[in-house]
Structures are given as C-alpha cells and as structure tokens.
Amino acid sequence: MSGSADTPSGLSALDRPNSYIGRAVPRPNLTRLMQGRGQYVSDMTLPRMGHVVYVRSPYAHARILGIDSTDAKAMPGVIAVVTGAELAQVCTPWVGVLSHLKGLKSAPQYPIAVDRACWQGEAVAAVIATSRAIAEDAAEQVIVDYEELEPVTDMRTALDPETPVIHPDLGDNLAFERKLDAGEVDRAFAEADAVVDAEFVFGRHTGVTLESRSVLADWNAGEGRLTVYQGTQAPHMMQNIFAKHLSLEEAQVRVVCKDVGGSFGIKVHVYADEMATAALSKLLRRPVKFVADRIESFATDIHARDHRCYGKIGVMKDGTITAFEIDDLTGIGPYSMYPRTSAIEANQVVNLVGGPYTAQNYRARARVVFQNKNVTCQYRAVGHPIACSVTEGLVDLAARAIGMDPAEIRRRNLIQDDAYPCGSPSGLKFEALSHHAALNKLLAMMNYDALRVEQAELRQRGIYRGIGLASFIEVTNPSAAFYGVGGARISSQDGVTVRLDATGSVTCQTSITEQGQGSEAITAQVVATAIGVPMERVRVILGDTDNTPYGGGTWASRAAGIGGEAAWQAGKALRNNILAAAATILQADPATLDVVDGVVVDKGTTRQRIGLDEMARITYFRPDTLPPGFQAELMATRHFVPRQYPFAFTNGVQASWLEVDIETGFVTLLKHWVVEDCGTIINPQLVDEQIRGGVVQGLGPALYEHCRYDESGQLTNGNMADYLVPMAAEMPDIEVGHVVSPTLETELGAKGAGEAGTAGAAAAVANAVNDALSPFDVLITEIPLTPELILKELKRF
Amino acid sequence: MKASDFNYVCPSSVEEATSLLALHGDGAKVIAGGQSLVPALNLRLLAPEILIDIGRIGTLRYISVADGMVRIGALARHVDLLNSQEIAEHVPLLAEAITYVAHPAIRNRGTIGGNLAHADPASELPACMMALDAVMVISGPSGERRVAASEFFLGIYETALAPDELLIGLEIPVTAAGSRFYFHEFSRRNGDFAIAGLAAQANVRDGTVESLRLAYFAIGGRPTLAAHAAAKVARQPIGPAVIADAQSALAEDLEPHDDQQASSAMRLHLAKVLLERCMSDLVQDQEMKRKALQ
Ligand SMILES: Cc1cc2nc3c(=O)[nH]c(=O)nc-3n(C[C@H](O)[C@H](O)[C@H](O)COP(=O)(O)OP(=O)(O)OC[C@H]3O[C@@H](n4cnc5c(N)ncnc54)[C@H](O)[C@@H]3O)c2cc1C
C-alpha cells in the first residue's frame, strides 16, 4: 500500500476537526455482509412467488415457426408458459438509440423474441413454476420449432453485400458510424520521420459478477403498483423504463435495490429477460422471480469490447508525435442495448485515442455493426482499454521506430502539467491533469532505470522479461452530455437528504447506489464530516425509488464525484440549520458556534455548549420553549450535477513487469504499478482497492478472458471452467500511488476512480509482452495474449 | 442450473453398494466427493434415477504402507494425500502431483477413487498411476479383481470398470531408493486442468536413466506412456542430441487433440518442452525436492 495518499487534498472545508475525508475508515456495511446478513434479490421470497425460467434459442439466428407447450403446462407445479407474442400484449418493445449519436439505428426489441431469435441465448418462451427446479424440468418439455437462418458472425464481413441483413427494415448491418478529422493529418504524416501502423484486436469478454442478474417483480393489482426488487445500478432509470413499457405511471412503480454482488456496468442496462419478468408479474398478477444461472449469465449478460482497430502514428526523430489515425470496427450483437446504446464504446474510442498527448492532428473512423451474437454494451471503463491499448501500442511502436526509450517518448509528448485548461483534437475539455507528475512518480516507484538493467542482465541468461507503460485518461463525473442530451431519461444529477433524528443521529438518503464499491461508506464519511458528527451516527439509505431523492445511481465513476458533492452540500445545509436551532436555544450568534463530534461547541474552542441529542430533544418535543416565530428545519436536501465541464477527466499511468516463457508462450505477471489522479481522495483504501480491482479486470482480458464464438454464432466457452476469469494466484502485486489534483467544480474536489485501473492495464501488459519479445522481432497486437498466440508468433510449432 | 430429480441411497458397506449397483443398473450413479458429478448433474449432462452415496463407507478411507506396497482406499480425499507423510516418503511423485489438483475446497471433498473412476484425460492422478505402475482394486458382483493402471484408463471418462463395479482402492509399489520423479503441467491458471502435463518416474545412475516411465496427460483421450521416447533415452548419457531424439519419438507415442486451449501441434510442442525439462531435472540432484515435500 505504499504511495497511498493518506492526507486530504488541503481544501480547508474538508480539514475540519475530526474530518473523515482522506481516512481509510472501515465500511459501515462490512459487518452485516461478513455475517451473511446481506439481502440479495436471490435471498428474497414473497407469498405466491413464481420462478421463471426462460427457454432460450440454441441458434444464433432462427425463425420461430411454432411453440408447443402442452406437455410443459400439464406438469405439476407449472403456473404458466408464456410466449413472446403473448407477452408483447403487456410490454411494448424498445429501440436503443440516442439522438446525439447521429445516425445510430437499431430495431425494436421485445422482452421475449416474437418470431425470430437473433442470438444464441435469446429468450423465446417463459416457463413459470412454483420452484426453479420444476420450471427447469418443464422448460425441457417446451418444444420449439425453429427454422435456422444464416447467422452474421464476422464483423469484418457484416457490411458486405453478400451478407444477410439482420433487420431488413434497417437496410444494412451498420448501426452507427462516426468520423472525425482534426488538424492536418495527411501533412503531419507526410512530414513525419517515421510512420508506423498496426491492427489491434480485442476479444469479446464480459463482466462475470459474483451475484448473477436477479429480479423479483411484484405486481399488486389491488394497489395498482409494481414493486421490482432488482440488482441494478440505476433504480430511477429502471423505474422510468418499467413504467414506460408496461404502460404505467412512474408513481406506480417502485424499484428497490438492496445488496448487489458486483455490477461493473453489467447491471445498468435494460435486459429483455428482466423486462419480461416484470411483464409476467403484471400478466400473472403474482410475484415472479428471475435469477440468471451462470450459463445464462455468459450468454446474456452484456459482453464488451470485440473491436478491431487499425491505428497509425507519425513521429519525428526527436520523439515528437505528429499525428494519430484510427479506423475502428466493432460488432455489437443484433440490437443496440437500451437505453444507453451499444455505440458509446466506439464513440469513446474515437474520443479518447491520443488523449494524453499534445499531438493535435487526429483522424478517426468508427463503425458499429450488427451481428448474431449476444448484445454488447457499457462495461467498466467503456472504450478506454481499447483507446489506451491502441494509443500506447502506437506510442511504443513509434519509440521503437526511432530508437527511443518508451518512458522518454512519453515525457516528450504528454500534455504538460501546467497547460490546463486545454482541449483534445476530439473536443474533450481537460480541467487539470497531471501526466508528468504521475509518470515521474511511477518511474520512481518502479525504479525504472534499475529495472531496465535487470532486464538486460536476465536476457543474457535467456530469461525474457518486459516492461510496459501506459498513460491514460479516464472519463468520470459525466454531466447530461453523456445520455441526457441524447434523449435518455437517465439522471445525471444526484440528490441527498439528511435528517437529524431525535437522539442526535443522522439519517441520510442518497440516490447513488452500492454494489460493493463503498458508496455507502463514502457517503457516511462525507455527511459525518460536513455536519460534524461521528460516522457511526450516520445511517445511509440507498437503492429505493420510494425512499431516496431522484438521481442517476452508480456508474461511469460518478458516485463519489457527483453523489458525494450532493452529500457534502446537504450535510453543510443541515449543519447550518442545526446551528440556527442551537443558537436559538443558547441565545447565541450562530456564527460563534460549531458542531464537533456530535456536540455544538463554541467556535475555535472545544467548549461544549449543547449535545445534538439534547438539541434535537428540545426541537422535537419541547418546541414550545423556543421563541415564537422560530421553526427548526432539521432535514435538508441538496442536489448536484456538474455544469462547467461535461466530464471530469482523471489521468494516470500504469506499468507492467512480466516474464514470457518463450518455449511455452506462458506469461507470468510479476508486478504492476499504477499512479492515478482522482482529485480529492475521500477514502484511500477504497480508492486503492478500486484501482486494484480495476487493474485485475483489465488484466483478465489481456491474458485470459474471452467469449469465444464459432462461425455459426455459438458461444463455445460460456461456463466458469472454460471462460478464464483472472484468479488471485495469477495476479501480480499491484502497487498504487496517487497525485491529487482536485476538480474545482465541486467543494469536495473528488473525481471518479472506478475505471482507471481497467483503462490501462491491458495496454501495459501488451507493451510489456512486446518489450520482452523484442529480441525476436515479433509484434503482437491482439488480446487475450494466449500461450498459443505467442507461440505462433514465435513460430515455435 | 438445478439437477433433475433423483433418488438417493447411502449404503454402509461395499457389498451393499455393489448390490445396489447391480439392482439399479444403468439408472444408478455412484457419488463419492461429488466434485465432478454434481456439476454434471446441475448442467443436466447426466440425469441418473438414483445416486448411490458411498461417502459413508468408512473402510474405504485409508492410506497404509506394508510389504513394499502403498495402499490407498478409494475414499481417501485429495487433502488426505496432500497431508500424508507416507505418500511424501514413499510416492513423492503423487505428493507433488496432488498440489496441482484443483483448489483447497475441492481437495477437501474430492476423492482419489472418484478422480480415477471419472478418468478425466486432463487429470494429474491417472497419469501418476501409469507412471507409478499402480494397480486398481475393483469390487463387483463376482468379487474383487485387480487391473493395472495401463489397462484401466480406456478413453475420455472411460475405464475398465463395469457399470456394476466399484473402485475400492489402489496399490502402488513403494518407489525404490534412488528412484527419481518429475512432475509438471502447463495450465492456464493455478488449479485448472492442464493443457499438457507429464508425470515421470525413473532410476538414475551416473547421469543415465533407466526404467523411465513417462506418463503424459491432457494430451489425447487418456493418459499415455511415451514408450518410444523413453526407449531413446534409456541408458544414454543425457545430452541435447539424445533429448532431441526422444522428442522426435513423441510423435509416435502421443495422439494430441485439438481444443480451445491448444491445438494438437501446440500440445505436441509442449510435450517436447516437458520432456526436455524432465530429463534435465531427473539428472540433477533431487535432494532439495524430496525435502520440500516432507
Ligand atoms: C473447479 C474444479 C477444478 C478441478 N480441477 C481438477 C484438476 O486440476 N485436476 C483433477 O484431477 N481434478 C480436478 N477436479 C476434479 C476433482 O479432482 C474431483 O474430485 C474428482 O475428479 C472426482 O472425485 P469425486 O470424489 O469428487 O468424485 P464424484 O464427483 O463423486 O464422482 C466422479 C465420477 O466417478 C464415479 N465414482 C466415484 N467414486 C467411484 C468409485 N469408488 N467407484 C466407481 N465409480 C466412482 C462417479 O459415479 C462419477 O461418475 C476439479 C474439480 C473442480 C470442481
């Protein structure tokens, strides 16, 4: 844990006595979870609850000619068997487009396929029974008559005239295309001393949350209300969407999100089978529960990446990078996901390539095509690993072309730390980044020069180790520019309500959500600090549309930066109200008072004047003793949304040190370093573990994780034995350091930290593998870097 | 992922178990540690009518050494082998191999009998049985019989066991003083099934190798003794030319398969790498290795 920032940023308001900002305090929900008292959707049972199992298409593309459920319906314990056509009567279809992604198109998607299945795993019928086991037995008896259709599986030929068009109404398989041309790219390449290019290939992979997707929908016909218990990152978004497609008023829908076992972006989307579960509850007028099993998770949880990106870079002999160019292609499955769309990842790639560097000449094209595979969408660090791997891979290639050290070429091209605010050729606005401070810190942490010496010595003995560097920028704290402007009803603002209770404790309701990352903890830290109470006295309530302010939830590294600021402002407002009430009771000037450790004191001294418990007692039970005309307000609500910058960019740099066994192609990760700058660090332990977890989720796809489809569109490794999730034994020690540049857009100054680790890990590993293999004149620009791939490049067999 | 319905019976003796097997025929399945069977049930790859749980037949969980023979009961768990002083002393190859089998939670329940009866070609233990020239002890309706490991493993999940027979134990000759072993495998992650592995046992004298048994696993449908390769190195001073010769002979011994982890060409290549590493390890001082296991 060396290198952690254990002091806050120095903003005076945060440095109050007993401040929790910048302290690694334990998470309040830890004991409950460790004692097995978490409440996950799969733990819940309601009276008359039915369990739904979906019959899923075994084909990537097939027409549904008929469904015979006679035998299934006759089985004891079976409540109903429902087809797509029947469910379409209850739930309207959706189209995953956003108006600011010009030209993005998709086809209407139904909760259950109506006449055609478009990927292997798409639900074609629902079986509801009194237990999951009975429903599975019955699902085996549902006979579906399919006519196999030609599947579109290779993104490279998806746009060819010979390739069938998946949705004929759309005209072609092109979902979205974006082009960008900034500066004078042709001239920059023409004038460069060297121009190098490569094609970078990124395997499809997925999120593999410990708890699978789960939803329990309860339509109460008597009340005219639908309550949905769901493992989701965005309860208010889901409330809107359930209402819209089930023809209800929003007020008729309550989404409750209790404990969630990991999300990583997997649980922020609208899944057809979850919509179907809610619709089934309405149709059957009883609670219906769906818990995806592991096979279903692999076949239907959103996948991500699956890009082929051609990249080109121009460089001068002195190391100056003159231009970047990319041509990105990605396959997203048969539908653009709703409501965030599946075009965001490619769009991010275009936005982010070259982002850390000064070069202003940049040309890009991204094409997003349909295919008959599972849908893809936003997963931790959307687009970042691709943009970073392409950029950093190109920078290393450029360095090689001119014979310059990889650290040196970065030093010469990273945007200077005093150049802010500034912008990127793709139009990004940077408030304050710290690339050079981060790089310097990283090189010192890893003892870069000594490592290079060690590497050279080992190479003499036939041991091939490599060092890989990767600078990155990360999108955090998104404003309405992300989704709202495109017409999606996804809140970019968050709200927090804090209330002083009658015994002086604080109840806090926030619209951000918790899936294990510590949202609850940082909210309690911020509120306790802002008001001036011990953290144990703050209880945080989240994840319930009936009981929290309206807001976005937790995704895109936004909870601490946006929800945290709302909590800070709400806490400050309550503190002022407390001071006003205390001043009235004490007949003092509120400006002379302060709240410290749950007690009103004289400002600047520790002289205790009145405890919050006593103050609350008087306010709530003996208001008759207060002067006429005074009304205490011991509850306050504040909302926050960033307005100045569309995104609060963070930055950082990663390094990997690894060994390649050139006889077997196996890669051993020896060490990983990260220096990142997420602004104010509210809880250093949570930030460090976010970084480490993020790195692991970047190392997984670099070496192991891959959703492998065959030419017929069959997922061939959709289980935990064949889909290789990174495990602790293979992971290196990950050392984390920080540079702190708070955003001035908020008082808290926090930016996001959830995705930085994932953004750069694969790039660092790929660069390190190529560095290790540099004596052999090979270049590998594909992940996962499997032993087979490496051995083939080395021509070992 | 719920198993289909099945009945369950829990016999308390080998005789009771084998007569239940005879009674229920094809509809029955023995369950020991359940570490391979339960996943198959939940994935509905298997749907037996009845499970015969042999887990409470206490007499089948033992490890003993007598008369130059190590005897292991079918219900000895992976963790028992891992912790056994007898195994470390008398069959160090097995002691080393078991550390590669799965993860602690699985080793706490998985049994050696279940592992061998399951006959996963990628498993470490069947190959060890081949390298160690073990004998399988089988009980059936007509009593006990013994089958050499080299005749026990027939193919993917296929053994010489008849449907009404139970594997009750195995016998391994105590490895001779001065005998050496080598074990290694390539697997993508710690505890995963291997994509190529080698268990070897040999006598080494003055830098030459005798009675070498090279048992490959995860290459082809069953563990395979590489006899041609072994013959090439027998009684030869070990050096690059001899090793290269033996590596070429592997093509005759092995029938490597293709799968998602590795092509057959890659498997053959890895088999050669294993052979080279095995030979240089065998002729080196092994004192350290033995000590580490005890
Ligand atoms: C995640 C995971 C990783 C694993 N990794 C490895 C690994 O790296 N290497 C490895 O070798 N194994 C591995 N295994 C398998 C493990 O070793 C199992 O314990 C073993 O294969 C089966 O033993 P069991 O006692 O659990 O048998 P069970 O699962 O109970 O039975 C397996 C089969 O053998 C039959 N059977 C069991 N006992 C007998 C008997 N006495 N007579 C006749 N038939 C019998 C059963 O009917 C069944 O068909 C792994 C398992 C898991 C879940």
pLDDT higher than 70, residue A4: no
List pLDDT tens digits, range A317-362: 999 999 999 999 999 999 999 999 999 999 999 999 999 999 999 9
Q: Cβ distance A71 to A139 under 8 Å? A: no
pLDDT on residue A784: 98
List pLDDT tens digits, range A730-768: 999 999 999 999 999 999 999 999 999 999 999 999 999
What percentage of chain A has pLDDT greater than the value 90?
Answer: 97
For the segment A468-476, the average pLDDT, to the nearest whole number, is 97
Residue A90 burial (CB count, 10 A): 20
Q: Cβ distance A281 to A219 under 8 Å? A: yes
Task: Give the angle A428-A430-A432 at the CA atoms, nearest 5°.
Answer: 170
Please identify which residue in the block is written with the tokens 């972006």. Answer: A265
CA distance linking residue B273 with residue A106, whole number of Å: 51
pLDDT on residue A605: 86
Average pLDDT, chain B: 95
pLDDT on residue A7: 39
DSSP assignments along B79-100, one per residue: HHHHH-HHHHHH-HHHHHHHTT
pLDDT on residue A124: 98
* Superfamily covering domain A46-149+210-262+266-300: Aldehyde oxidase/xanthine dehydrogenase, a/b hammerhead (3.90.1170.50)
pLDDT on residue B289: 66
Stretch(es) of chain A classified as CATH 3.90.1170.50: 46-149+210-262+266-300
pTM of full prediction above 0.90? yes
Q: Is B290 on the interface with A (CB under 8 A)?
A: no
The domain A382-476+644-793 having CATH identifier 1.10.10.10: the answer here is no
Q: Is A704 on the interface with B (CB under 8 A)?
A: yes
Pick from A121, A111, A49: nearest CA to A82: A111
Residue type, A458: L
| Tokens describing residue A465 | 């180790």
CA distance linking residue A224 with residue A216, whole number of Å: 17
For the segment A775-787, the average pLDDT, to the nearest whole number, is 97
Q: How far is A787 from chain B (nearest CA, A)?
A: 8
Residue type, A208: V
| Upstream peptide bond of A421 is cis (omega within 30 degrees of 0) | yes
Distances (CA, A) of B81 to A200, A625, B9, B63, B202: 47, 78, 27, 8, 22
Q: How far is B52 from chain A (nearest CA, A)?
A: 21
Q: Phi and psi at residue A548, in whole multiples of 5°?
A: -135, 160
Distances (CA, A) of B180 to A389, B157, B285: 47, 30, 10
Pick A727's closest partner by Cβ from B189, B265, B270: B189
CA distance linking residue A623 with residue A223, whole number of Å: 38
Pick from A282, A238, A281, A280: nearest CA to A257: A238
CB contacts < 8 A, A to B, total 57
For the segment A461-480, the average pLDDT, to the nearest whole number, is 97
Q: Do A295 and B43 touch (CB under 8 A)?
A: yes
Q: Do A730 and B266 touch (CB under 8 A)?
A: no
Q: Cβ distance A634 to A651 under 8 Å? A: no
pLDDT on residue A158: 98
pLDDT higher than 60, residue A10: no
Q: Is A89 on the interface with B (CB under 8 A)?
A: no
Question: Which residue, among A290, A788, A789, would best test binding to B if mutated, counting the most B CBs under 10 Å from its CB?
Answer: A788
Distances (CA, A) of B113 to B116, B117, B168: 5, 6, 7
Alpha-carbon dihedral angle through residues B14, B15, B17, B20, given to the nearest 10 degrees: 170
For the segment A407-426, the average pLDDT, to the nearest whole number, is 98
Task: Nearest chain A residue to B3 by CA: give it.
Answer: A133
Task: Give the angle A370-A371-A372 at the CA atoms, nearest 5°.
Answer: 140
Residue that wins the pLDDT comparison between B106 and A9:
B106
Run of H or E residues at A182: strand A174-182
| Tokens describing residue B220 | 């082809």
Pocket test for ligand 1, best of B115, B120, B125 (most atoms within 8 A of CB): B115
Pocket test for ligand 1, best of B13, B24, B31, B164 (most atoms within 8 A of CB): B31
Q: Cβ distance A300 to A293 under 8 Å? A: no
Q: Is A722 on the interface with B (CB under 8 A)?
A: yes
Ligand 1 nearest atom to the CA of residue B46, by list position: 49
Ligand 1 nearest atom to the CA of residue B30, by list position: 47
Q: Which residues contact A748 (CB under 8 A, 6 or more apart)?
A: A11, A14, A21, A526, A561, A564, A565, A568, A680, A682, A742
Pick from A525, A507, A539: nearest CA to A634: A507
Per DSSP, helices labelled H in A426-511 are: 435-446, 448-460
Residue that wins the pLDDT comparison between B9 and A3:
B9
Sheet containing A143-148, strands listed edge to edge, beginning at the edge strand earlier in sequence: A116-117, A62-68, A143-148
Pick from A771, A791, A793: nearest CA to A406: A771
Distances (CA, A) of A372 to A48, A290, B128: 37, 24, 45
Q: Cβ distance A559 to A530 under 8 Å? A: no
Q: Do A727 and B191 touch (CB under 8 A)?
A: yes
The burial of A126, by beta-carbon neighbours within 10 Å (0-12 exposed, 13-18 middle, 19 or more buried), is given as buried
Average pLDDT, chain A: 96
Residue type, A485: V
pLDDT higher than 50, residue A789: yes
For the segment A362-390, the average pLDDT, to the nearest whole number, is 98
Q: Which residues contact A740 (CB under 8 A, 6 or more apart)?
A: A5, A9, A677, A679, A680, A681
Spacing of C-alpha A164 from chain mean position = 33
Q: Is B248 on the interface with A (CB under 8 A)?
A: no
Residues of B in contact with A730 (CB under 8 A): 189-190
Query: Which residues form the pocket of ligand 1, taking CB atoms under 6 Å from any ligand atom?
Result: B 29-37, 39, 54, 74, 101-102, 106, 110-111, 113-115, 117-118, 123-125, 161, 166-167, 191, 193
Cα(B112) to ligand 1 centroid in Å equals: 8
Cα(B256) to ligand 1 centroid in Å equals: 23
How many H helices and E strands in chain B? 13, 14
Q: Do B1 and A137 touch (CB under 8 A)?
A: no
List pLDDT tens digits, range B211-267: 999 999 999 999 999 999 999 999 888 899 999 999 999 999 999 999 999 999 999
pLDDT higher than 50, residue A1: no
Q: Phi and psi at residue B101, in whole multiples of 5°?
A: -85, 115
| Upstream peptide bond of A339 is cis (omega within 30 degrees of 0) | yes
Pocket test for ligand 1, best of B100, B103, B106, B192 (most atoms within 8 A of CB): B106
Interface of A with B in 484-523 (CB under 8 A): none
List pLDDT tens digits, range A603-625: 988 899 999 999 999 999 999 99
List pLDDT tens digits, range A229-277: 999 999 999 999 999 999 999 999 999 999 999 999 999 999 999 999 9
The dihedral built from the CA positions of residue A157, A161, A164 and A170, taken in this order, carries a sign that is positive
Q: Is A77 on the interface with B (CB under 8 A)?
A: no
Q: Phi and psi at residue A3, in whole multiples of 5°?
A: 85, -5
Q: Is B244 on the interface with A (CB under 8 A)?
A: no
Pick from A588, A349, A644: nearest CA to A473: A349
Residue B78 gets which letter from DSSP?
H
Pick B260's closest partner by Cβ from A140, A708, A730: A708
Residues of B in contact with A719 (CB under 8 A): 43
List pLDDT tens digits, range A160-171: 999 999 999 999
How many H helices and E strands in chain A? 19, 29
pLDDT higher than 50, residue A6: no
CATH topology of domain A493-640: Aldehyde Oxidoreductase; domain 4 (3.30.365)
Binned at pLDDT 50, 70 and 90, residue A14 comes out as confident
pLDDT on residue B294: 60
Return the residue whose CA atom lies nearest to atom 3 of ligand 1: B102
- Give Dmax (Cα) for chain B: 61
Please identify which residue in the block is written with the tokens 């190109």. Answer: A394
Residue B283 gets which letter from DSSP?
T
- Domains located in chain B, CATH noted: 7-53 (3.30.43.10), 58-173 (3.30.465.10), 179-293 (3.30.390.50)
Q: Which residues contact A456 (CB under 8 A, 6 or more apart)?
A: none
CA distance linking residue A774 with residue A388, whole number of Å: 21
| Three-class secondary structure of residue A154 per DSSP | coil
Q: Do A724 and B1 touch (CB under 8 A)?
A: no
Q: How far is A22 from chain B (nearest CA, A)?
A: 37
For the segment A559-580, the average pLDDT, to the nearest whole number, is 97
Please identify which residue in the block is written with the tokens 């009103």. Answer: A600
Q: Cβ distance B146 to B38 under 8 Å? A: no
Stretch(es) of chain A classified as CATH 3.30.365.10: 382-476+644-793, 493-640
Return the residue whose CA atom lies nearest to atom 9 of ligand 1: B101
Q: Do A717 and B192 touch (CB under 8 A)?
A: no
Q: Do B188 and A664 touch (CB under 8 A)?
A: no
Task: Nearest chain A residue to B47 by CA: give it.
Answer: A137
| Tokens describing residue A611 | 């405890």
For the segment A286-314, the average pLDDT, to the nearest whole number, is 97
Q: Is A789 on the interface with B (CB under 8 A)?
A: no
Between the two ends of chain B, the Cα-to-Cα distance in Å is 42
